[in-house]
Amino acid sequence: MNIGSLYTVKKFCWFLFPSKEKALPANGDPAALADDHASAASAASYWSKRFKCEVTYFSPDSIIIFLENDGKFKKVLTSDGKIGWTWFIESYNECFEEVKTK
């Protein structure tokens, strides 16, 4: 993944947390993705209440930019203006396709 490049999301809904610390829940399991909008909306609501912050998500066909990389976390800007951190490991690269610009 190239920082600063545009990507189309091909698979899964990905959670956006306001910080890297919030992206790794207290039990140490990453909160990264959901299979569909209903699951993502429900989980985002749960994480928002649990951590007393706004947790959102982005979904397939979204356009995103990876702004920063810090180990297993990436800072993301979505095409609808959402910004946050998500947990991400390289085995999920196939879930994104770089947008080719002319």
How many distinct structural domains can be found in the chain?
A: 1
pLDDT at 8: 95
3-class DSSP state for residue 93? helix
Asked whether residue 1 is assigned to any structural domain, the reply reads no
Q: Is the pLDDT of residue 28 over 80?
A: no
Is the pTM value of this prediction over 0.95? no
Task: Please tell me the predicted confidence (pLDDT) of residue 89.
Answer: 79
Contact in structure between 44 and 36 (CB atoms under 8 Å): no
**Distance from C-alpha of 9 to C-alpha of 11, rounded to nearest angstrom:** 6
Q: How far is CA 9 from CA 34, 45, 76, 89, in A?
A: 13, 21, 12, 15
Residue 46 scores a pLDDT above 80: yes
- pLDDT, greater one: 30 or 94: 94
For the chain, how long is the longest CA-to-CA vector? 45
Residue 50's domain comprises 6-98
pLDDT(20) > 80? yes
pLDDT of 25 strictly over 70: no
Give the model's pLDDT for residue 83: 95
